[in-house]
Amino acid sequence: MKNNPVKRTIFYIFLVFFLTFILFPFFWQLLTSVKPIKELWSIPPTWIPSQINLSYYESVFFKRSFTTYLKNSFIVAGCTTAFSLFITSFASYALARLNFRGKKSILCLSLSVSMFPAIAIVSPLFLFMRNCHLLNSYWGLILTYSTFAIPLSLWNLNAYFKQIPLDLEESAKVDGATPIQAFLKIIFPLAAPGMFTTAILTFIAAWNEFFYSLTFNTADNMRTVPVGIAMFPGDYDMPWGDISAASVVVTIPLIIMVLIFQKRIISGLTAGAVKG
């Protein structure tokens, strides 16, 4: 491609088209969030706002319970990520290192559990949450989100642990380290890129979850961001400006986080793809 200008040109044209297609919805939300009110419904639509209007952001933060939704999402997504990584770090390490019957079946079973559509299991989950008094609580969502976060973390970490040389553990055991010490002092630091990648993917999945939060947390002070934004419209009002501003606010932190840690994310995603 370096020596063929035609192929290089076609590649860059395709790249620009692809990026435009992917980024346009977010770009349009950003423009909508700063348009004057009269330009929100203009036909034909106004591409470039005539002036910058930040009243929607003011409305989101000071006239709505948006900060409460942000707090709830951070707590639920953060605790779900920490809980899933704590469980799956030991489980995936055992599946990667120990030889026993049914190991592949466990991995396949965990993956099949995550494939169940939410609508198919929401009724028994709701009854369980109600009987355990977990409705409108953080723990109700954390435990529910773990049903898809743990299989995701298990598969990612299992592939990564398999790439860490077994000789490192054997050397540590020769020096007198117990299996737990070898895991915590040798394997765990080496698995940091994979753990970091898994944490980000799990956090984003929990942050964006909508259906379980809508079903189990019906109190306004316990709603997460996706459900809170969905509740913005009224019976006779569609506040596109507020919805766009809120969407931009909840998306920008994720974009910044991915851009800052993109090297770790890429190294973690590609580590399990190379067979050692």
80-125 pLDDT, tens digit per residue, is 999 999 988 888 888 887 777 777 788 778 777 777 788 888 888 8
How many other CB atoms sit within 10 Å of the CB of residue 69? 25
Backbone dihedral angles phi then psi of residue 165, each to the nearest 5 degrees:
-60, 135
In a domain, 1, yes or no: no
**Total structural domains within the chain:** 1
How confident is the chain (276 residues) per 10-residue block, as mean pLDDT?
A: 74 87 86 84 80 87 90 93 90 80 79 79 89 92 90 83 78 76 78 82 89 91 91 80 88 78 63 48
pLDDT computed for residue 78 by the predictor = 92
Q: Are 140 and 217 contacting, i.e. CB atoms less than 8 angstroms apart?
A: yes
In a domain, 56, yes or no: no
In a domain, 111, yes or no: yes
pLDDT computed for residue 276 by the predictor = 43
pLDDT computed for residue 269 by the predictor = 57
In a domain, 14, yes or no: no
In a domain, 10, yes or no: no
* Dihedral of alpha carbons 43, 45, 48, 53, sign: positive
pLDDT computed for residue 69 by the predictor = 93
pLDDT computed for residue 268 by the predictor = 56
Here the CATH number for the domain that contains residue 169 is: 1.10.3720.10
| Structure letter (DSSP) for residue 46 | P
pLDDT computed for residue 11 by the predictor = 84
Number of residues that this document lists for the chain: 276
Can you give the residue range of the structural domain that contains 229? Answer: 64-271
CA 152 to chain centre: 11
In a domain, 23, yes or no: no
Q: Are 47 and 112 contacting, i.e. CB atoms less than 8 angstroms apart?
A: no
In a domain, 251, yes or no: yes
pLDDT computed for residue 233 by the predictor = 84
In a domain, 256, yes or no: yes
In the chain, which residue ranges form alpha helices assigned H by DSSP? 5-32, 37-40, 55-62, 66-97, 103-114, 118-131, 138-161, 166-174, 179-182, 188-190, 192-208, 211-216, 225-230, 240-260, 262-271
